[in-house]
Amino acid sequence: MGMLDAVADRIREGETVEFRPTGDSMVPLIHSRQRVRVAPVDPALVASGDIVLARVSGTVYLHLVSAVDAPRRRVQIAGNRGRVNGWTGHDRVFGICLAVDGVPRPGAAAKVRRPPVRAVRAEPLSTNRMDLLPLRVEHAPEMARVLGDPVLHEFTGGAPLATDALRARYARLEAGSPDPAVVWCNWVLRLRGDGPLVGTVQATVTPGRDTAETAWVIGTAWQGRGLATEAALAVTAWLEELPVGRLIAHIHPGHRASAAVAAACGFTPTRHREDGEVRWERRSAPPPATGS
């Protein structure tokens, strides 16, 4: 088995690998003995101009993608001198080149195939000051008091729910999403030492899309202490460990406190708007590379 065959086997197992290929078929993009970083790829995302690790005519090597044929699930590969080498199927495209001698390849990181998300359900989490408890119907009476200030609805709309209405809502949330492709994860936040409930954090996870949408709220009496950031950091770290590749939050452009929480958690605003809110996004880094 050649060196690149062994690299391909490791990439198929989900590793991100750094190695130094020999030969000059990729000159001038890759010179012999330059260090390249290659990660597992979702072949459906590959585009012209990408460099992929693929098997063609029985040989595994780094190839330049010159065209894609999405309906037939194949890519055309070529050399740098313009010679087209032919088509190869998605099942023989193993990895994508992320960087050459430490210089990132534009857009490549977004095409990395991430490990499958494990079975998802809200789990107890903790921070320095709080316990994050999976939401239950019995939390409704205390949470009705926490969320009872109309000021909390200034940016989201609506009005505070009475205890019975909140209990009914929590029963629906605890029962789970009616859509099998979506998982609802909800936590209440309790201060350590049998302290009061102070707020909630939620994550709507869509494993098939490698995406989770997050939101947080802290009761008026406990705002300004960094509790929202502390809780949101715990949940975003938990989501990354699942793993989930893209995290989203929708925030009203006037809600500076919530925007500060998002920024502290590594989200950045995008140009996308939905119902007057700005979409913020955070993408997980590809898995760390192992040497070859």
- Do residue 157 and residue 247 come from a single domain? yes
Q: Does the structure show a pLDDT above 60 at 256? A: yes
- The per-residue pLDDT for range 73-94, each reduced to its tens digit, is 999 988 655 577 789 999 999 9
- Distance CA(75)–CA(48), nearest Å, equals 9
- Bigger pLDDT: 197 vs 4: 197
Q: Does the structure show a pLDDT above 90 at 281? A: yes
| Percent of the residues in the chain that have a pLDDT greater than 90, as a whole number | 61
Which pLDDT score, from 0 to 100, does residue 26 have? 63
- Distance CA(248)–CA(90), nearest Å, equals 29
- The per-residue pLDDT for range 184-222, each reduced to its tens digit, is 999 999 999 889 999 999 999 988 778 999 999 999 999
Q: Does the structure show a pLDDT above 70 at 69? A: yes
- Bigger pLDDT: 12 vs 135: 135
Which pLDDT score, from 0 to 100, does residue 116 have? 67
Please identify, among 111, 134, 162, the residue that sits at the C-terminal boundary of a domain.
111
- Distance CA(73)–CA(46), nearest Å, equals 11
- Do residue 135 and residue 276 come from a single domain? yes
- Bigger pLDDT: 76 vs 4: 76
Specify the number of domains making up the chain: 2
Q: What is the average pLDDT score of the chain?
A: 89
Max alpha carbon distance in the chain (Å)? 71
- Do residue 145 and residue 28 come from a single domain? no
Q: 172 is in which domain, residue-wise?
A: 125-291
- Do residue 75 and residue 158 come from a single domain? no
Average pLDDT over residues 236-254: 93
Average pLDDT over residues 37-47: 92
Q: Which has the minimum average pLDDT: 35-49, 74-88, 153-167, 186-200?
A: 74-88
DSSP readout, 171-214?
HHHHH--SSTT-EEEEEEEEETTT--EEEEEEEEEEGGGTEEEE
Return the CATH number at 206.
3.40.630.30
Please identify, among 56, 83, 111, the residue that sits at the C-terminal boundary of a domain.
111
- Do residue 135 and residue 277 come from a single domain? yes
- Do residue 104 and residue 129 come from a single domain? no
Which pLDDT score, from 0 to 100, does residue 285 have? 63
The beta strands (E) that lie in the chain are given as 16-19, 36-40, 51-56, 59-69, 74-78, 84-89, 93-100, 103-104, 125-126, 130-134, 183-191, 197-206, 211-218, 246-251, 268-274, 277-283, 289-291
Which pLDDT score, from 0 to 100, does residue 290 have? 59
- Do residue 48 and residue 188 come from a single domain? no
Q: How many CB atoms lie within 10 A of CB 245?
A: 23
Q: Which has the minimum average pLDDT: 142-146, 153-157, 163-167?
A: 153-157
- Do residue 281 and residue 144 come from a single domain? yes
- Do residue 253 and residue 157 come from a single domain? yes
- Contact by Cβ (8 Å): 134, 235: no
Which pLDDT score, from 0 to 100, does residue 289 have? 57
Average pLDDT over residues 36-59: 90
- Do residue 96 and residue 241 come from a single domain? no
- Do residue 101 and residue 66 come from a single domain? yes
Q: Does the structure show a pLDDT above 70 at 287? A: no
Report yes or no on 34 lying in a domain. Answer: yes
The helix (run of H) or strand (run of E) holding residue 256 is helix 256-264
Q: Name the band, by pLDDT with cuts 50, 70 and 90, for residue 1.
A: very low
Return the CATH number at 43.
2.10.109.10
Please identify, among 86, 111, 136, the residue that sits at the C-terminal boundary of a domain.
111
